[in-house]
């Protein structure tokens, strides 16, 4: 089974609300001259800080390439946004004798109550352009299925 959308729904009587970070921290190396230019723009009030400059630059580049991104998302049939998989969701897939091919541009979360065995039995492949949040054991179990 190829997973392209929100086909799995949490129908538990008291669904657990996830508390997720709204961003992912990254580290970049920047040359001293480029960094000096950034600091000059910050000092002159064009940006509130270095992070503001970098976020703006990234958004501008994403806007420049938005049409190409749309075409790739459509061609690769990627789900955009957040996809969460609970143990109940994966047990339902397992009961149906199916497996998932998960392709997401955004964030994939696999609940902490999902065992490595259940993840291996139900997730055939996992392609995440963005971030994957799962227990270390599940990440290790799925390492050879992650593209």
Mean pLDDT of the chain: 86
Q: What are the sequence ranges of the domains in the chain? A: 2-12+74-145, 32-67
Strands 123-133 and 79-85: unpaired
Whether residue 85 is predicted with pLDDT greater than 90 in this model: the reply is yes
| pTM of the full structure | 0.64
Give percent above pLDDT 70 in the chain. 86
Predicted pLDDT of residue 8: 38
93, with CB counted inside 10 A (0-12, 13-18, 19+), is: buried
Q: Element (H or E) spanning 106, and its range?
A: strand 100-110
Predicted pLDDT of residue 122: 95
CA distance 115 to 136: 11
Q: What pLDDT digit, counting tens, does each position of 23-58 carry?
A: 788 899 999 999 999 999 999 999 999 999 999 999
Q: What pLDDT digit, counting tens, does each position of 9-20 carry?
A: 333 344 444 455
Predicted pLDDT of residue 147: 85
């Amino acid at each position: 089974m190829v997973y392209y959308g929100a086909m799995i729904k949490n129908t538990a009587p008291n669904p657990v609300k996830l508390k997720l970070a709204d961003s992912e921290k990254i580290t970049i190396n920047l040359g001293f001259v480029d960094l000096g230019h950034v600091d000059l723009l910050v000092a002159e009030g064009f940006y509130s800080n270095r992070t503001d400059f970098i976020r703006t630059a990234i958004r501008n580049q994403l806007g420049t390439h938005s049409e190409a991104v749309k075409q790739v998302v459509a061609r690769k049939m990627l789900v955009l946004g957040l996809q969460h998989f609970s143990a109940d969701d994966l047990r339902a897939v397992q009961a149906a004798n199916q497996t998932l091919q998960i392709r997401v541009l955004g964030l994939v979360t696999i609940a902490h109550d999902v065992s490595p065995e259940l993840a291996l039995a139900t997730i055939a492949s996992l392609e995440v352009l963005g971030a994957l949040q799962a227990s270390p054991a599940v990440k290790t179990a799925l390492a050879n299925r992650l593209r």
